[in-house]
């Protein structure tokens, strides 16, 4: 229980008897007061102003040291001295006229209690307002979708001010050459709890003809009690066209600029019709006069604070959006530049990205089976999209001749062989004609038949080998018999160096063998057009991709892009490349991209080294791979059942055959 202490002469301070059960202790100095308080609870101290004056500095220091929390200090003085004492003794809680009666003391106590409750209520309200602003600020800073952010800004502004309706405008700055006169306000959003708003985005001049334009131009808050009764001095006028069309009545308005950290206005929040009861719908229109009140000074402060937070959040979200768009365009241009080196695969990366994103979004909605636990947020979907766009970027480090090799022999090799056989046939013919002429001149006509037969035999052999080269050069699967036939072609030893090749006697080709061992080895490739070494060089593009992507400073949400792209050629059974990983080491996003990559490679238009196949044949091949344990069966099932391959965006990017 609080104690009552009298600092001074009791008879000079207190008049009358205290209520029954109440008592007061008398002290004569600050030291005595401190001793009386030592180890006890809070106290009410009635102090003679003269005693306080005598120890003014010591009392102030004592209270500032923490004792003010335990003491209510009331100075008792003559009424004539009150104002001067308030100035000289700022540390006292209040002054009472001398002498103090028990009734006056009780009245003062009751007033103090009521005052305290009012202050506590005001503090609670202020605390609630600040807490709500903080919660809103956190929500605004967390939202990166521009449209959702604008919705959130207007919704929270209306909630915190109890507004029935509202609209939001963004400032569109004119190019510098046009000057400020070209600035405009874009009407981005409208909300109304009473009537449906047929919203259509539009722009209007940023000038004083509208209240939103006026606020954007002056950077000042406008609080209008009644939009239909504006003061004559107002440069703006309120348009009643919406009210007349919708049967609404716009009365009180609070229009607040959205100013960023540099005090630049980026938008305007317009709040309409503050309601006594937030749950009331303002119908019929007569309710407006009863339920709508002007916005308060507190509303101005809250809305202004929220608008400032909103402006910074919008600037940040807009900056992130523009950076992402720039990054997206950079990636697309970079991928296009890489694909220019191999025009037959143009568009492949984008199509794989489309299929991969469609697949991950579908998997995210699966509610049963092995995939039911998988969930992906927007960043993870974007992460896969970027990984898919960049999955072949490492081809920039692969020699172009490997990427474009459509036959088993390079074009220069085939041209050389064609020229060689043209020479060989001409040389055989020249040799035959020379020998035939000599026989005729010598009268050895009996030798002519043998010469003719020998020439035809050698010419036929050369033609046979030339045709065998032409047939074997196609990138088809070579049958066993054909393979052995090619391998058994007579060959010359490979040249040891360029000097040996340059010094070779060209005329010796006519004597055979007609091919080098290198040429026969290339023609003996069993499948496709690439030798094992060439295939390894192309497969290395995956590692080149990883090495390149690893050097980029990815933000946290995209940190797995290098890994996802790196592992898209791995197979669940360890038969993939480059690291022959098993299922447990392959991210599910990479598995999705594997399905998309193989499907597009199969159905895309003809490439020099393969023919495209139908969608159904491609799905059959994928199914065979899944049965063999190479692809993820569950993901492939979603790919097939959801008909991901029927995506209009995917099909639109498939070049039709000509």
Q: What is the mean pLDDT of residues 52-73?
A: 86
Taking only the tens place, the pLDDT of each residue in 183-200 is 899 999 999 999 987 778
Tell me the three-class secondary structure of 492-539, residue by residue: ECCCCCHHHHHCCCHHHHHHCCCEEHHHHHHHCCCCCCCCHHHHHHHH
Taking only the tens place, the pLDDT of each residue in 607-646 is 656 678 899 999 999 999 999 999 999 999 999 999 999 9
Asked if residue 454 and residue 368 are part of one domain, the reply reads: no
pLDDT in the model for residue 572: 95
Percent of the chain with pLDDT over 90: 33
Taking only the tens place, the pLDDT of each residue in 505-552 is 677 777 778 788 888 788 888 777 787 888 888 778 888 888 888 998
Asked if residue 304 and residue 183 are part of one domain, the reply reads: yes
More confident of the two residues 175 and 616: 616
* pLDDT of residue 39 exceeding 80: no
- Which SS3 state, helix, strand or coil, does residue 261 take? coil
The torsion angles phi and psi of 96, rounded to 5 degrees, stand at -120, 145
* pLDDT of residue 485 exceeding 90: no
Asked if residue 262 and residue 211 are part of one domain, the reply reads: yes
Residue where a domain terminates, one of 319, 351, 384: 319
User: Are the C-beta atoms of 100 and 109 separated by less than 8 Å?
Assistant: no
* Residue range(s) defining the domain that contains residue 233: 143-319
Q: How far apart are CA 647 and CA 348, in angstroms?
A: 15
Tell me the three-class secondary structure of 426-457, residue by residue: HHHHHHHHHHHHHHHHHCCHHHHHHHHHHHHH
Asked if residue 623 and residue 474 are part of one domain, the reply reads: no
Residue where a domain terminates, one of 505, 528, 551: 528
In a domain? residue 327: no
pLDDT in the model for residue 658: 38
In a domain? residue 333: no
Taking only the tens place, the pLDDT of each residue in 430-473 is 989 998 899 888 888 888 899 999 989 988 888 888 888 888 88
pLDDT in the model for residue 477: 61
The CATH number assigned to the domain holding 627 equals 1.10.3210.10
CA dihedral 75, 79, 85, 90 (to 10 degrees): 50
In a domain? residue 267: yes
Residue where a domain terminates, one of 286, 319, 352: 319
pLDDT in the model for residue 387: 94
| Structure token digits, residue 362 | 């579908």
Least confident of 12-26, 70-84, 153-167: 12-26
- When mean pLDDT is compared over 403-412, 489-498, 558-567, the highest value belongs to 558-567
Asked if residue 518 and residue 549 are part of one domain, the reply reads: no
Taking only the tens place, the pLDDT of each residue in 106-141 is 777 666 666 666 766 656 766 666 677 677 777 777
In a domain? residue 67: yes
* pLDDT of residue 657 exceeding 50: no
More confident of the two residues 2 and 532: 532
Q: What is the mean pLDDT of residues 409-428?
A: 87
Q: How far apart are CA 388 and CA 391, in angstroms?
A: 5
Asked if residue 444 and residue 578 are part of one domain, the reply reads: no
Asked if residue 273 and residue 204 are part of one domain, the reply reads: yes
In a domain? residue 558: yes
Is the Cα dihedral 269, 273, 274, 280 positive or negative?
A: negative
pLDDT in the model for residue 121: 64
* pLDDT of residue 354 exceeding 90: yes
* pLDDT of residue 217 exceeding 70: yes
Confidence of residue 407 (pLDDT cuts 50, 70, 90): confident
Q: What angle do CA 496, 499, 504 make, to 5 degrees?
A: 85
Q: What is the mean pLDDT of residues 142-149?
A: 79
Taking only the tens place, the pLDDT of each residue in 69-83 is 788 888 888 888 888
The torsion angles phi and psi of 634, rounded to 5 degrees, stand at -65, -45
pLDDT in the model for residue 226: 94
pLDDT in the model for residue 305: 85
In a domain? residue 105: no
pLDDT in the model for residue 634: 95
* pLDDT of residue 324 exceeding 60: yes
The CATH number assigned to the domain holding 83 equals 3.40.50
Percent of the chain with pLDDT over 70: 90
465: Cα separation from own chain's centroid:
61
In the chain, the number of structural domains is 4
Asked if residue 212 and residue 194 are part of one domain, the reply reads: yes
Q: What is the mean pLDDT of residues 260-270?
A: 89
Asked if residue 159 and residue 68 are part of one domain, the reply reads: no
In a domain? residue 442: yes
Asked if residue 152 and residue 281 are part of one domain, the reply reads: yes
Asked if residue 382 and residue 286 are part of one domain, the reply reads: no
| Structure token digits, residue 326 | 């720039």
pLDDT in the model for residue 92: 87
Rg of the chain taking only CA atoms, in angstroms: 46
In a domain? residue 114: no
Q: What is the mean pLDDT of residues 540-569?
A: 89
Asked if residue 269 and residue 168 are part of one domain, the reply reads: yes
């Amino acid at each position: 229980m609080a104690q009552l202490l009298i600092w001074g002469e009791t008879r000079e301070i207190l008049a009358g008897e205290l209520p029954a059960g109440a008592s007061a202790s008398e002290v004569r100095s600050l030291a005595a007061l401190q001793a009386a308080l030592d180890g006890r609870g809070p106290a009410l101290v009635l102090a003679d102003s003269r005693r306080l004056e005598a120890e003014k500095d010591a009392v102030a220091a004592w209270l500032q040291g923490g004792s003010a929390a335990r003491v209510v200090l009331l100075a008792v003085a003559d009424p004539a001295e009150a104002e001067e004492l308030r100035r000289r003794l700022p540390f006292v809680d209040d002054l009472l006229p001398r002498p103090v009666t028990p009734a006056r003391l009780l009245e003062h106590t009751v007033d103090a209690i009521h005052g305290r409750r009012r202050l506590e209520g005001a503090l609670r309200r202020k605390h609630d307002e600040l807490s709500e602003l903080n919660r809103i600020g956190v929500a605004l800073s967390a939202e990166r979708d521009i449209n959702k952010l604008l919705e959130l800004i207007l919704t929270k502004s209306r909630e915190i001010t109890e507004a029935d309706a509202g609209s939001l405008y963004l400032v569109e700055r004119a190019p510098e050459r046009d000057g400020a006169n070209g600035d405009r306000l874009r009407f981005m959003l409208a909300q109304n709890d009473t009537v449906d708003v047929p919203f259509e985005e539009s722009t209007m001049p940023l000038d004083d003809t509208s209240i939103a334009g006026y606020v954007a131009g002056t950077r000042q808050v406008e609080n209008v009690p009644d939009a239909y009764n504006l003061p004559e001095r107002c440069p703006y006028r309120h348009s009643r066209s919406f009210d007349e069309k919708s049967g609404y009545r716009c009365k009180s308005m609070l229009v607040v600029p959205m100013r960023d950290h540099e005090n630049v206005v980026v938008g305007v929040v317009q709040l309409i019709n503050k309601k006594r009861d937030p749950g009331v719908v303002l119908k019929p229109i007569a309710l407006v006069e009863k339920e709508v009140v002007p916005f308060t000074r507190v509303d101005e402060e809250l809305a202004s604070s929220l608008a400032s937070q909103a402006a910074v959040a919008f600037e940040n979200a807009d900056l992130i959006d523009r950076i992402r768009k720039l990054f997206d365009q950079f990636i697309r241009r970079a991928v296009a530049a890489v694909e220019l080196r191999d025009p037959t695969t143009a568009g492949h990366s984008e199509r794989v990205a489309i299929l991969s994103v469609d697949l991950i979004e579908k998997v995210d909605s699966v509610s049963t089976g092995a995939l039911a636990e998988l969930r992906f947020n927007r960043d993870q979907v974007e992460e896969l999209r970027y990984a898919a766009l960049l999955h072949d970027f490492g081809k920039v480090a692969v020699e172009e001749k490997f990427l474009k090799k459509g036959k088993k022999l390079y074009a220069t090799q085939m041209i050389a062989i064609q020229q060689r056989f043209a020479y060989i046939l001409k040389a055989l013919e020249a040799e035959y004609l020379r020998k035939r002429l000599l026989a005729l001149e010598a009268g050895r006509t009996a030798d002519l038949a043998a010469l003719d037969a020998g020439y035809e035999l050698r010419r036929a052999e050369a033609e046979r080998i030339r045709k065998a080269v032409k047939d074997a050069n196609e990138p088809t699967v070579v049958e066993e018999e054909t393979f052995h036939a090619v391998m058994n072609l007579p060959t010359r030893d490979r040249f040891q160096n360029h000097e040996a090749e340059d010094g070779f006697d060209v005329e010796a080709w006519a004597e055979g063998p007609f091919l080098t061992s290198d040429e026969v080895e290339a023609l003996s490739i069993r499948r496709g057009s690439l030798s094992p070494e060439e295939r390894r060089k192309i497969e290395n593009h995956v590692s080149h991709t990883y090495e390149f992507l690893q050097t980029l400073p990815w933000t946290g949400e995209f940190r797995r892009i290098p890994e996802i792209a790196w592992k898209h050629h791995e197979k669940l059974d360890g038969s993939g490349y480059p690291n022959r990983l098993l299922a447990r080491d392959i991210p599910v996003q990479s598995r999705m991209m594997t399905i998309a990559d193989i499907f597009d490679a199969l159905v895309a238009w003809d490439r020099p080294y393969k023919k495209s196949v139908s969608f159904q044949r491609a799905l059959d091949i994928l199914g065979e791979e899944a049965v063999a344990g190479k692809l993820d069966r569950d993901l492939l099932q979603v790919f097939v059942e959801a008909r991901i391959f029927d995506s209009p965006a995917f099909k639109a990017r498939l070049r039709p055959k000509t």
